[in-house]
A = this chain, B = another copy of it.
Amino acid sequence: MQENQISPSEWEIMRVVWTNHPISSREINDILKEKKEWKLTTTKTLIGRLVKKGMLSTEKQGRKFEYSPLVTEKESIDESIDDLLDQMCNTKVGRSIETILEKRTLSKTELEQLSELIKKKKETAPNKIYCTCTPGQCGCVV
């Protein structure tokens, strides 16, 4: 199936480790206590899977283990976004960004940065986006 992605539950663990590391399984579990009503063993299972997937490193600290991330949060987020966008036609990406912008709140600064970036992109932007979908999977007239 898919090549070693981070599942939603695993993502919860990763966020904790990205924020605090090195960190022990108990500490991870404590942090997630209210949000997810997981038993300690559940947390441990997820940690184990993340270690096996190469997402977390372990270091024996005395008798216990301390975990640290082997991938960055940005990397992982970007990958998820890519996976998502790869599922749709190129010509739908623009509209999707619009939808995000409509629904989510960004700060003035963030919007300003986006404006800048867009201005720059406009210089080299094509007049038309070409669809590369399998014929029959999108209605674009290329």
Residues of A within 8 A of B (CB): 2, 8, 11-12, 15-16, 18-20, 31-32, 34-35, 73-74, 77-78, 80-82, 84-85, 87-88, 90, 92-115, 117-119, 121-122, 125-129, 133-139
Contacts and interface: CB of A to CB of B under 8 A. Distances in A.
Closest 9 CB pairs of A and B: A94-B110, A31-B136, A15-B137, A35-B134, A108-B125, A94-B106, A107-B129, A93-B104, A111-B122
A127 to B, nearest CB: 6
A118 B129 contact: no
> How many copies, total?
2
Contact of A121 (B111, B133, B138): B111
Contacts of A107: 94, 125-129
